[in-house]
Structure 1
Amino acid sequence: MVAIIPARGGSKGVPRKNLRRVGGMPLVERAVRSALAVPDIDLVVVSTDDDEIAAVSRAAGARVVRRPAALSGDTASSESAILHALEDLEAAGERVDVVAFLQATSPFIPTDALAAAVREVGDGRADSVFAAHETYGFLWGRSGTSSDAAVALNHDAAHRPRRQDREPHYLETGAFYVFRAEGFRAAEHRFFGRIRIAEVPEWTAIEIDDEQQLRIARALAALHETPERIPVKAVVTDFDGVHTDDTASVDADGVERVRVSREDGMGVSLLRRAGIPMLILSTEVNPVVRARAEKLRVPVMHGIDDKESALRGWAADAGIPLAEIAYLGNDVNDLPALRIVGWPIAVANAHPLVLAAARVVLRRRGGHGAVRELIERVLPG
């Protein structure tokens, strides 16, 4: 049983769409993780023509099939990419019985419904199963004539029964399709034989084709995907706006003072006792940053313009995978670091771009216990 995720590099509506982040994670990685969460799926494959998508997919745990240019243009069908991937797998000695076709542009793939669909096809109860949600909506079309009149499609406009008196329709979401490989090769289409519906929650039905839908998806992720536990092996934070409230006072001698939270200090102490490494990574060159780091007994790198390179170097030296690091930031200079870690975290009052990039948005503001909140969610129990 193989999951195949077509993810080409080109996209006009949303440039580099498959790498755009929802819930702090690239769309293609979200699809890979959804497939990996299904026990009956033996192999997850990403079909792509793009080096960066390939790298992200491999890091997430997928095998990559490089798609030829002829199958990577705007007019190439998903079916052609799947057929090519099947040929590539079988040339490598894999025998594929069932295919789960996932679309990375659907960021919310319910793994329980996907798992049930895989079992249904695997057990021979269906040949093709697709994700859809129940709807009682009245659908209309246009006549296509010179009058361009509205035409009722799924109902009689003169007789509109109550919702409870009507049978529902099902709207295809595009999130996933599961089918027998042999039947797909014969039909060259995802719908054939005994077709069944995998019902999914309506809120998961969004497909990203423009920037507005991307913004909606990020809002939905913040609403539905807020884990209490943040399982990481290291915590890295910015300083100003994270340990402080992003304000400073300057006395007559030019000495700068900032305000920090004592409970953050206690949280750092608990993290240190648990043996979890922590680093303060700051753009500012200010004695107050080093003084606070020394007080907390935490390593500090300050005066850092390139936070991404500094973080990569520190993680490599410490032997900690970037995927297992939480980075807590608040402003746009944190974005490069946020984009490379597995757990990008934002304080409650962060810049809108940081909020959009975050996998988790904390309840507390910078300088008001945000560091303590993150640490409490990192520590077990």
Structure 2
Amino acid sequence: MKIISIIPARGGSKGLPKKNTIELNGKPLIFWTIKASIKSKYITKTIVSSDDDKILSISQKYKAEILKRPAELALDTTPTEPVIEHVLKNIENINTYDYLILLQPTSPLRDENDIDKSIELLIKRKATALISTTIIDNKVLKAFKNNKYGYLEGILNNEYPFMRRQDLPKILMPNGAIYIVSIQEFLKTRKLFTNETISFEMSNEKSLDIDTRSDLKKIQNIKLLR
């Protein structure tokens, strides 16, 4: 089994400028994701895709392979899928690889154990894709919306608003830490989500994502990085 790890890390960021190189526990933020990827016992190749020379230099220092991303793929509005396509087009013998795993550097608390467990779950379940998630409060299922006639209706159905919360379905929110998809499937659909996508559940604590300076402070207080 051959797996490509793709770490997307553009230079621009509105919420937290230069966040991929900002220091977290004595190391650049991107270090923690590169480290987790390289320490995984299943990942064959770790590639950082970036438009920023400083990010690429740091990534090389920590033993990741690098790929310079064109400026048109590093805009605020650029979706993730074209970035993945750009990486795959630059990999020799791409058809010899089985899966790609997308690891965003803004999820530094996801470690190699999470990565390996998610890959093992994917293989065990024989799924074509996996998304890491965290459980959120399911009371939102009890909410209403106004329909086009101005009358209330449940956001999903009219039964959930009157059910006990313990009887409502569990709600899983993507936490942005891990996305895995069969390369064959991705090349066909250009999507990270398939009809056979499973969930890898992570704790709320490990699911913290860095978008602002306050997020950075929260993670520094948790002290899970090692």
TM-score category by the smaller chain? 0.7 to 0.9
What is the root-mean-square deviation of aligned Cα atoms in Å?
A: 2.7
Q: How many residues align?
A: 220
Relative distance call for 1:115 and 1:11 in structure 2 (3 A) is same
CA contact under 8 A between 1:135 and 1:170: conserved in structure 2?
Answer: yes
Relative distance call for 1:53 and 1:39 in structure 2 (3 A) is same
SS in 2 for 1:202: coil
CA contact under 8 A between 1:19 and 1:27: conserved in structure 2?
Answer: yes
CA contact under 8 A between 1:46 and 1:62: conserved in structure 2?
Answer: yes
SS in 2 for 1:138: helix
Match for residue 118 of structure 1? 119
Deviation at 1:118, TM superposition (A): 2.1
SS in 2 for 1:179: strand
Match for residue 18 of structure 1? 20
For 2:64 and 2:133, locate their aligned partners in 1 and report how far apart those are by CA, in whole Å: 26
Structure with greater contact order relative to length (CA < 8 Å, sep ≥ 6): 2
Identity %: 25
Long gaps (5+) in structure 1: 228-381
For residues 297-327 of structure 1, what are the alpha-carbon distances to aligned partners after superposition, in whole Å with 9 as ceiling and x for unaligned?
xxxxxxxxxxxxxxxxxxxxxxxxxxxxxxx
Give the aligned residue type for 1:101: L
Match for residue 50 of structure 1? 52
Match for residue 100 of structure 2? 99
Deviation at 1:141, TM superposition (A): 7.6
Give the aligned residue type for 2:24: V
Give the aligned residue type for 1:117: S
For residues 66-105 of structure 1, what are the alpha-carbon distances to aligned partners after superposition, in whole Å with 9 as ceiling and x for unaligned?
11111111111111111101111127x7832210100111
Spell out the pairing of 1:167-246 with structure 2 (5 A cutoff): 167-220=169-222, 222=223, 224-225=224-225
Deviation at 1:23, TM superposition (A): 2.5
- The answer to whether structure 1 residue 33 and structure 2 residue 50 are counterparts is no
CA contact under 8 A between 1:86 and 1:96: conserved in structure 2?
Answer: no
Deviation at 1:190, TM superposition (A): 0.3
For 1:56 and 1:154, locate their aligned partners in 2 and report how far apart those are by CA, in whole Å: 50
CA contact under 8 A between 2:31 and 2:59: conserved in structure 1?
Answer: yes
CA contact under 8 A between 1:133 and 1:205: conserved in structure 2?
Answer: yes
CA contact under 8 A between 1:34 and 1:110: conserved in structure 2?
Answer: yes
CA contact under 8 A between 1:22 and 1:107: conserved in structure 2?
Answer: no
For residues 89-138 of structure 1, what are the alpha-carbon distances to aligned partners after superposition, in whole Å with 9 as ceiling and x for unaligned?
127x7832210100111121143232122234456711000101223431
CA contact under 8 A between 1:3 and 1:45: conserved in structure 2?
Answer: yes
- The answer to whether structure 1 residue 133 and structure 2 residue 103 are counterparts is no
Spell out the pairing of 1:276-295 with structure 2 (5 A cutoff): none
Match for residue 162 of structure 2? 159
For 1:162 and 1:123, locate their aligned partners in 2 and report how far apart those are by CA, in whole Å: 31
For 2:124 and 2:159, locate their aligned partners in 1 and report how far apart those are by CA, in whole Å: 39
For 2:66 and 2:145, locate their aligned partners in 1 and report how far apart those are by CA, in whole Å: 43
Match for residue 331 of structure 1? none
Deviation at 1:169, TM superposition (A): 1.6
For residues 305-364 of structure 1, what are the alpha-carbon distances to aligned partners after superposition, in whole Å with 9 as ceiling and x for unaligned?
xxxxxxxxxxxxxxxxxxxxxxxxxxxxxxxxxxxxxxxxxxxxxxxxxxxxxxxxxxxx
Relative distance call for 1:107 and 1:144 in structure 2 (3 A) is farther
For 2:216 and 2:31, locate their aligned partners in 1 and report how far apart those are by CA, in whole Å: 16
TM-score (norm 2): 0.85
For 2:163 and 2:67, locate their aligned partners in 1 and report how far apart those are by CA, in whole Å: 50
For 1:30 and 1:144, locate their aligned partners in 2 and report how far apart those are by CA, in whole Å: 46
SS in 2 for 1:203: coil
For 1:65 and 1:122, locate their aligned partners in 2 and report how far apart those are by CA, in whole Å: 28
SS in 2 for 1:29: helix
Spell out the pairing of 1:258-337 with structure 2 (5 A cutoff): none
SS in 1 for 2:57: helix
Spell out the pairing of 1:78-93 with structure 2 (5 A cutoff): 78-90=80-92
For residues 151-209 of structure 1, what are the alpha-carbon distances to aligned partners after superposition, in whole Å with 9 as ceiling and x for unaligned?
6558856424143x443121110111011111111111100141101111111122222
CA contact under 8 A between 1:138 and 1:155: conserved in structure 2?
Answer: no
For 2:147 and 2:161, locate their aligned partners in 1 and report how far apart those are by CA, in whole Å: 21
For 1:179 and 1:109, locate their aligned partners in 2 and report how far apart those are by CA, in whole Å: 18
For 2:156 and 2:218, locate their aligned partners in 1 and report how far apart those are by CA, in whole Å: 28
Q: Which of the pair has more CA radius of gyration?
A: 1
Match for residue 61 of structure 1? 63
